[in-house]
Chains A and B, each alone.
Chain A
Amino acid sequence: MSRVTVDGLFMEYDRTPILERISLEVASGTFCAIVGASGCGKSTFLRLLLSQERPTRGVIRIDGDEIAPEPTPDRGIVFQRYSVFPHLTVCGNLTLAAELKRSRLVGRLFGAARRREKDAISDTLRKIGLWDARNRYPAQLSGGMQQRLAIAQALVMKPKVLLLDEPFGALDPGIRADMHDILLTLWRETRMTVFMVTHDIKEAFKLGNRVLVFDKVRHDPQHPAAYGATITYDLLLDRNRRKAPDAADRSGPDLAGSVH
């Protein structure tokens, strides 16, 4: 379960309001797509959900508990860029979380323990189509491959909430469609709550079963920056997606389950 509650959220940067009066209740397993004009505060909202920033006012809760004041493994993130570690191979990027967990002191496993973690991610590697590239470094991967890796890496920790900030913004349209399929499959399997920011309205309606539109409702012509943005449209799409996870569970191996 991962119900997200946002209560009376205000966010100011240097006394300039960016977000105001955001209250929201998101049911567990919702795919929330977020759209809005550039600079209206979508990334800021994700940063608040991740605790990368602290809100000026208001609280965010997951399953009733206030989120920790710094990023923690219960919330996964995929940025538009720089999400994967350039000094680790594809394999190394995916085993890192397990290594950090098993080896508190140096965060590194050797020998048999390391091989075991490598075996544990082989299913994931095949599923995201990176098996053949498993020993390559991110600089040797295409943009789409890097983002698939970033998504898989974020899912390794089985987060309750997955945050995606324009994850496919830098990819060309053909590859995007493939990425959508992969993301939807993973979402159905894991039943996480997803927040995804996108500039592409079509993408938002294709992927999301709830679409949030951010915009300013109050305008002061003398001071354009006097007011922040809030959620102006909140569209629940009934597409029977909520049933899908069970079907997918029975048919395919659970991605997050194959990984620790």
Chain B
Amino acid sequence: MTATDTGSSDIAGAAPNGPRRRTRHRTRIVNRKPSRSAAIFLGLLPFLVVVVVYAVASADRLAVNPQDRLLPSIGQMWETFRTYAFTPDQRTGNYLLWTDTFSSLKRLFLGIVISGALALSLGISIGFLPMVRAGLAPFVAAISLIPPLAVLPILFLLLGLGDTAKVALIVIGIAPIMVRSVSRSVSEIPEEQIIKAETLGASTWQMITRLALPQAMPPLFNALRLGLGPAWIFLISAEGIQATDGLGYRIFLVRRYLAMDVILPYVAWITLIAYLIDLSLRLTARRMFRWAYPKGAGL
């Protein structure tokens, strides 16, 4: 490691000991920042390591037993993935990857949108209106403690085996925490601002539309991003337990044939989709609520 000596060299040069005894200033590690390209390289490194380790392990197993199914080669997984994506299924004539993706995303988006709407409306009411807070906050807190998967059988019994039960599971799973996080943000709006709005002649409704709603939007997007992780868990679980299509359904179906060459690409595919949704939520929030991200720093 080379130590940077910016600035300190002038002072050292002017010191009575002369230029030979340059004090080399060692920057603390906390102050060393990678360059942009170095940052990209460092970011990619762990991915590369995982891929290489997998490739070596897979090659080892396949060398001992070419029929091994647990760690298929990367080329084989790519072939299977292409088949799922671009060859119609013999039985149904569907392109399985796309029908699975479409079914899953439809359920996920419905769940997320309904939860988001609940988080916004209930979150603002609970966070802003003391009367509603007194009435609903304990209820929402109690609901959020219910283990969602425990009510899945009830949902299947009540709502049938179709999409409704799966969407309901997602909503029950993530809406309560989203409501709570939005309502906490709204209740943390400084009292000074509410007083100020009153002195500007705002009615309660106007304070909701012009003060609480806009300030609830960045927290809502945060809540959506945080809710997405659990939403995927509930979606995959519900699909694995009872479905006729979907990404989770496929993974649980092919598990019976030890088809790791399907499962692993599907997991990677789900991860990629989850990443893209998160990224788009983050960028949308940045663009739409510039006031909340003054320097564009942080996540």
Contact = CB atoms under 8 A, between A and B. Distances in A.
B139 interface: no
A123 to B, nearest CB: 19
Interface in A54-101: 70-73, 75-77, 79, 81-89, 96-97, 99-101
A96 B291 contact: no
A157 B198 CA distance: 11
A36 interface: no
A16 interface: no
Interface string B196-225: 111111110110011100110000000000
A139 interface: yes
Given A100-B202, A100-B206, A71 B195 contact: yes
Contact of A87 (B198, B199, B214): B214
A49 to B, nearest CB: 12
Contact of B291 (A73, A97, A99, A139): A139
A50 B198 CA distance: 10
Nearest to A47: B195
Nearest to B201: A73
Contacts, number: 84
A77 B206 contact: no
| Size bracket, chain B contacts | 20 to 34
A97 B200 contact: yes
Contacts of B292: 86-87
A68 to B, nearest CB: 10
A140 interface: yes
Contacts of A100: 200-203, 206, 210
Interface in A95-109: 96-97, 99-101, 104-108
B190 interface: yes
A53 to B, nearest CB: 11
A159 interface: yes
Interface string A130-169: 0000000111100000000000011011010000000000
A104 B206 contact: yes
B44 to A, nearest CB: 34
B24 interface: no
For B200, B211, B291, the residue with the greatest tally of chain A CB atoms inside 10 Å of its CB is B200
Contacts of B193: 82-83, 85
Nearest to B206: A107
A108 B207 CA distance: 11
A232 interface: no
Contacts of B290: 137
Interface residues of A, number: 38
Nearest to A76: B199
A84 B290 CA distance: 16
Contacts of A157: 199-201
B86 interface: no
B289 interface: yes
Nearest to A75: B199
A76 B211 CA distance: 18
A71 B196 CA distance: 8
Nearest to A140: B294
Interface string A13-46: 0000000000000000000000000000000000
Contacts of B202: 100, 107
Contacts of A107: 202, 205-206, 209-210
Nearest to A159: B199
A77 B196 contact: yes
Contacts of B211: 85
A140 B293 CA distance: 10
A108 B210 contact: yes
A72 B197 CA distance: 9
A70 to B, nearest CB: 7
A86 B294 CA distance: 10
A145 to B, nearest CB: 14
B142 to A, nearest CB: 31
A139 to B, nearest CB: 4
Contacts of B203: 100, 104
B210 A96 contact: yes
Contacts of A106: 206, 209-210
Given A73-B200, A85-B196, A87-B214, 16 more contacts: A70-B198, A77-B196, A77-B199, A79-B192, A82-B193, A83-B192, A83-B196, A84-B196, A96-B200, A100-B200, A100-B203, A107-B202, A137-B291, A153-B196, A157-B199, A159-B199
Question: What 10 pairs between A and B have smallest CB-CB spacing?
Answer: A107-B206, A139-B294, A71-B198, A82-B192, A82-B190, A137-B291, A97-B200, A73-B201, A107-B210, A87-B214
Interface of B: 190, 192-193, 195-203, 205-206, 209-211, 214-215, 289-292, 294
